[in-house]
Structure 1
Amino acid sequence: MDLDTFRALLTDEGQAVLAAVRDPDPATWPATLTALRRDHPAELVAAAVEQVRLRRDAEAKFGVDAQRMYFTRDGLDHASHREVAEYKLGRVLDEMGVVFLDVLPLGVGADALVLGWSHAVTAVDGDPLNVAVTTANAAALDAQATIWIEQKDLTVHEPWGEAVFVDLAGPGPRDPVPSLTWALDTVRGVGAGAVRLGPDVPYGSVPEGCGADEAEWISWEGEVQEAVLWWYGEPGTAARVPRRATLLPGGATLTGRGLPAPAVRPPGRYLYEADAAVVGAGLVAELAEEVGGGLLDAAVPACVTSDEAHATPFATAYEITEVLPYDPAAPGAGGLTVRQYGCAAEAAELGQDTTPRGDGAVTVFLTRVAGEPALLLVRPAG
């Protein structure tokens, strides 16, 4: 969808088309589309249909507000989950003590709108479509009084707020997204704020000595949503950026203590599948210490094994019922749910015509034990 089509969607004509396709009767859908295309531009009808689909998809992130908002596919895919944005707002309120904020770039404005609940926000993006979508969402959610939205080249914008939030995880402007170096310099220049990174950022890629007070990986229902570098307003002095993993919903949080890598050991009675945020933040050693365990293999940090049963929010616990050597031709995995860690080639070879085992409660982990592929048959612990 281009800018002109989006603007047309906001007109009375566009709103009428959007209303016509919002809840069509499946039996009349072909006739509805035919009539709309006869009376309105095809691009406008297509944009309305796509907007209805995007709003339906967006409910998983934005709840009922999604039906009043506007989206692009890239903007929705990269937007912060509403619960994640609210969690970050809580950290801003508790730890920064600021009122005026800059947010750049925007996407669909998810973070800017939530920050605007309690702060005066200057929202800047170089992409006119991102600006138009964020402006429409601010109007739809009645947030115009707290957000000033501006189209500008990000690299020449001079933040005026007490903190600045740079989003490197979103779709960014049509021009190349600003670099991490630029983002770090921008936030350090203000002294407080955050840099939002994508969900796949490994902990080792966070620049040590960058001055951030913390690097936090945030998951929602076990899937990492984003990593955030935080500055709270005081110059950072630590040579190593402290790490944190936060699990939403619930808010359980695990902080790094500088522990050495866990020892590799044979499978115990229990398997702990670490939450993705714990793995992303490099805090598996802290998890292993909590459950009294070690790694099945140094190359598979998500799988911790222990002889002890522990309730922990930072991992899903299983009881190991059987350990089998990997053999794609042998029975043992057919008909079961297979989870794969560190054995992509073997997973591709794993046959599905084998004899089923168990009663449906068994899960198979295809992973490595002491460097060799193995199948772990497990049941939920407890």
Structure 2
Amino acid sequence: MERAELVELLTPEGLTLIDSVSETDATANVVGVVSRLRADGHSPSLVAGVLTQARLRRKAVPKFGEFASRMLFTEAGLEQATRLRVAALHAGRFGAAGLSRVADLGCGIGGDAMAMAAMDLDVTAVDADEVTATVASYNLAPFPTAEVRHARAEDVDTSAFDGLYFDPARRTSGHTNTTRLTRPEDYSPSLDVVFHRAETMPVGVKLGPGFDRSLIPADCEAQWVSVDGQVVELGLWFGALARPGVRRSALVIDVDGTHELAAAQDSDDVDVQPLGEYLYEPDGAVIRARLIGDVARSLNAGMLSPGIAYLTGNEHVHTPFASAFRVLERFPLDERTLKRELAQREIGTLEVKKRGADIDPAVFRKKMALRGSQSATLFLTRVDNKHAALLCERV
């Protein structure tokens, strides 16, 4: 979205049109909606902008729920925005630490700032991109304790705040078709700036879950967060925002609620043990936090193979930190053998997972020429350092 398009959208006419189109299935009937709006005399650029916002509002529902219907978005801003459930937990940290004046530096479209303002924190949301800052202003307008500034995070005087939250730009500039930046020194602001601020005041930082662990400062709490099985972020917390004695944590959010595994350090792995009746796949946040050993001990399970993030045991123990599978058969990792065995079992729906095997699951599944009414999960991996295929069913 360009500046001129946003200016046209932020008019009574534009905002009324967005609300009206959001109530229709513009995706299924784009031609009809365009024809109707053009016949009513609206400009082509306004119609295009309205349809884009209607599409983005529907796309934003998993992240923002009912709030999506009254927000504005950019493509890149929505992709990078914090889910509201996670943002509420971020805001809760500041509240629990007794911090009430927060600067959200790199606020994007305002997701985290919305959660802070909803908890009555005085939040100043800052973004270096003019269009993004304007979108954030619209989204934060209902919150009296929030304000938005168009500025670089590096240029903000932070002396008026008692806590800072950074979400460094980790993609190239723009509102669509951005690409991921791989070097932390290219982030905006750079991590040198962020970590320097963290030396003197409470700071929270949102980073990608694949961030290089060797660059994590020793004096902070590192928390990996997964939502419905997808690892969505790494949060670094400094000063009063970090919990005493916690340096590594995995936060798992699912339909049953919020579950956390926390520790003072990476956990030691357990020993390898023979393949049992059950295979456990730890949640991605647990793997990233390197707390697999703690989960294994809670399950009375062992490693399936050295360096492979699968666990095995002979009893089923429910845990939010790992998915459980019942092992049905073990086969050699041979395509012809597996194709024949799957056909004999009439397996037409196959979930393929792999660790420790140089195989593309999508290509492999296509080669199996699946037919039948049964379903299963196939693990292509190593068992005590030997390649194997494990046919399983979810518990």
Which TM-score band (shorter chain)?
Answer: 0.7 to 0.9
C-alpha deviations, 1:192-247, integer Å up to 9, x for none? Answer: 12011113335x344243x21x1111111111121101124289998xx7100011
Q: How does 1:249-268 map to 2 (within 5 A)?
A: 249=254, 250-256=257-263, 258=265, 259-268=267-276
Alpha-carbon distance in 2 for matches of 1:47, 1:167: 27
The residue aligned with 1:13 is 13
The residue aligned with 1:153 is 152
Alpha-carbon distance in 1 for matches of 2:360, 2:32: 50
The reply to whether residue 370 of structure 1 matches residue 372 of structure 2 is: no
Higher mean C-alpha displacement, 255-264 vs 285-294: 255-264
Inter-CA distance 30–336: structure 2 relative to 1 (3 Å threshold): closer
Following superposition, the deviation at residue 351 of structure 1 comes to 5.2
Give the length in aligned residue pairs: 370
Inter-CA distance 282–37: structure 2 relative to 1 (3 Å threshold): same
Find 1:183's aligned residue among 171, 194, 204. 194
Q: Residue type of the partner of 1:184?
A: F
Q: Residue type of the partner of 2:14?
A: G
The reply to whether residue 45 of structure 1 matches residue 47 of structure 2 is: yes
Q: Residue type of the partner of 2:328?
A: T
Following superposition, the deviation at residue 64 of structure 1 comes to 1.0
Higher mean C-alpha displacement, 117-126 vs 52-61: 117-126
TM-score between both structures, scaled by the size of structure 2: 0.85
SS in 1 for 2:188: coil
| Structure 2 segments unaligned to the other structure (5+ residues) | 175-185
The residue aligned with 1:63 is 65
Alpha-carbon distance in 2 for matches of 1:87, 1:308: 34
The reply to whether residue 313 of structure 1 matches residue 320 of structure 2 is: yes
SS in 2 for 1:164: strand
The residue aligned with 1:106 is 107
Q: How does 1:83-98 map to 2 (within 5 A)?
A: 83-94=85-96, 96-98=97-99
SS in 2 for 1:102: strand
Find 1:283's aligned residue among 278, 284, 291. 291
SS in 1 for 2:60: helix
Alpha-carbon distance in 1 for matches of 2:244, 2:285: 25
Q: Residue type of the partner of 2:216?
A: P
Following superposition, the deviation at residue 346 of structure 1 comes to 5.5
Higher mean C-alpha displacement, 83-92 vs 23-32: 23-32
Alpha-carbon distance in 2 for matches of 1:216, 1:123: 23
Inter-CA distance 164–173: structure 2 relative to 1 (3 Å threshold): farther
The residue aligned with 1:77 is 79
Alpha-carbon distance in 1 for matches of 2:60, 2:29: 25
- 2:103–2:126 contact (8 Å) kept in structure 1: yes
Inter-CA distance 22–166: structure 2 relative to 1 (3 Å threshold): same
- 1:216–1:245 contact (8 Å) kept in structure 2: yes
Find 1:207's aligned residue among 195, 203, 216. 216
Find 1:124's aligned residue among 126, 136, 141. 126
Following superposition, the deviation at residue 173 of structure 1 comes to 5.8
Alpha-carbon distance in 2 for matches of 1:233, 1:36: 53
The reply to whether residue 273 of structure 1 matches residue 278 of structure 2 is: no
The reply to whether residue 243 of structure 1 matches residue 242 of structure 2 is: no
Find 1:197's aligned residue among 196, 207, 214. 207
Higher mean C-alpha displacement, 110-119 vs 328-337: 328-337
- 1:105–1:173 contact (8 Å) kept in structure 2: no
Inter-CA distance 341–158: structure 2 relative to 1 (3 Å threshold): farther
- 2:349–2:373 contact (8 Å) kept in structure 1: no
| Structure 1 segments unaligned to the other structure (5+ residues) | none
Q: Residue type of the partner of 1:113?
A: M
Inter-CA distance 282–357: structure 2 relative to 1 (3 Å threshold): farther
Alpha-carbon distance in 1 for matches of 2:108, 2:225: 19
The reply to whether residue 345 of structure 1 matches residue 352 of structure 2 is: no
Q: Residue type of the partner of 1:53?
A: R
SS in 2 for 1:362: strand
